[in-house]
Structure 1
């Protein structure tokens, strides 16, 4: 004679399986849909990444082709024809601003477009602002240049040492030699400053009659 509890367990298992199969027949499409969406989503992500890579490669090729033009005019024309938006537009405008001697107005306009684009990260805007101040030189009021540079010289900004260097040159321009030397000495000791910048600062200190710190 079989054990009644064993028989009940077998019946319970059969009922459980029947309910499971019935549920799968009724709701199984949800699982299938989830699988399709998962696989499809992974495929879409791969396609999207590949598309981005292809677009970046095409953009880079177009920039290189434009930069290889024989004359500044041809170079600007070729670069201006490259379609770009967002950060790509920032890169394009910075390249368009590479001929300040040949076309000063176009250079400043391209830099201004990047500097004033609030949708861009600070990195690009700061670089454009710094470059614009350098290109403008004494044509722009000193106070205006200082106002543009001071935010860039704050801790944490990408081009802080370069902006600090330009601020030191403004002090020289104002005739504040002692203050300029102090600012330049701070740059020489600044480990975040590039080697070339520290070298320039050292040379300027000597030219101004200052002394270099003894290491």
Structure 2
């Protein structure tokens, strides 16, 4: 390579280097902000994850301590003092408080039902927790409003719902209370063939069908 060519290449390299430095001086702060944002975001995500884990651990420890209290009154007091951190913890705590309200000689079902129904209406609550609160409320006697109870059971008995079979059984019992034996038998027969129903639930349905003087329809 000739000296003139080498000289030109050196000049070109210097020009490129100068342009690069100019770009860095002009836009380097943007790159720095991007790096800071990435590092800061990662640190925030990690801190948030650790904080959530710590709060979940603290909640679990508080619940376990409350459940091991010596008597019902102490359990109720301990549960009342726990502060939930999110909607799902609100639901868990509400379910436990409702169960504690139903324990003991001074048990009163109405406050427990009200508590369960309130839990079910918690914003951003997972469907499983909502349905668990509702099914427990219905098993404890319902809301006291026949129309509302019917709507609740319809929701719980929808295809794919986690407690669908139990809800159908409650629908059958509600129909019997209303004197609608035909609807009750239809629901009970469906339960005897329901693959999702437990063996104990299918057996109860069969026994109730026989008690009503009918027989399960042949498959």
TM bucket normalised to smaller: 0.7 to 0.9
CA displacement at 1:182 relative to structure 2: 1.9
Contact 1:94–1:111 (Cα < 8 Å) also in 2: yes
Aligned runs of 1:143-182 on 2, under 5 Å? 143-182=147-186
Equivalent position SS for 1:158: coil
Partners of 1:54 and 1:199 in 2: CA distance = 45
Query: What stretches of structure 2 of length at least 5 have no aligned partner?
Result: none
In the TM superposition, residue 194 of structure 1 has moved relative to its aligned partner by: 3.8
In the TM superposition, what are the counterparts of 1:17-32 in structure 2 within 5 Å?
Answer: 17-32=17-32
Measured in 2, the distance between the counterparts of 1:204 and 1:195 equals 14
Q: TM-score, normalised by structure 1?
A: 0.83
- 2:53 aligns with 53
Check if 1:127 corresponds to 2:132. yes
Deviations 1:87-131 (A, max 9, x none): 211111111111425232331231132133344344333322222
RMSD: 2.7
CA contact (8 A) 2:102 2:112 kept: yes
Query: How far, CA to CA, are the matches of 2:110 and 2:148 in structure 1?
Result: 18
Gaps of 5+ in 1: none
Residue 136 of structure 1 aligns to a residue whose secondary structure is coil
Aligned residues: 214
Q: Using the alignment, how far apart are the partners of 1:5 and 1:155 within structure 2?
A: 80
Q: Is the 8 A contact 1:142 1:170 kept in 2?
A: no
Q: Map 1:31-50; keep pairs closer than 5 Å.
A: 31-50=31-50
